[in-house]
């Protein structure tokens, strides 16, 4: 995982921890606190899923770029070998 992904997960974790602490010390009824906690956890799960999906897409994009670059390098190497072979013919 790259540093951006780690940073985003850190921010999400800190937000979740802050939300939990805030809800637990809030002077509200227990049922209201639990409801807010469940809602916050649901939002956090959605955010985490979005980060994961974004990471998957970035990985797929990077893989495509690397594959294209490798194909270009392979073709370049083949052409250079042909040029060397022709120079000895």
> What are the residue boundaries of the structural domains of the chain, listed by start?
3-87
Six-digit token pair at 3?
């540093």
Q: Whole-model pTM?
A: 0.53
Write down the pLDDT at residue 70.
95
Alpha-carbon distance of 10 to 78, in angstroms, equals: 46
Distance separating alpha carbons of residues 62 and 67, to the nearest angstrom: 9
Q: Is the pLDDT of residue 1 over 80?
A: no
Q: Decide if pLDDT at 77 tops 90.
A: yes
């Amino acid at each position: 995982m790259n540093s951006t992904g780690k940073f985003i997960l850190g921010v999400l974790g800190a937000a979740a921890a802050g939300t939990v602490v805030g809800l637990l010390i809030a002077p509200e009824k227990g049922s209201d606190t639990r409801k807010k906690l469940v809602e916050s956890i649901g939002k956090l799960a959605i955010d985490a899923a979005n980060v994961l999906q974004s990471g998957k897409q970035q990985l797929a994009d990077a893989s495509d770029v690397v594959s294209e670059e490798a194909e270009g390098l392979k073709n370049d190497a083949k052409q250079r070998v042909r040029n060397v072979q022709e120079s000895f013919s």
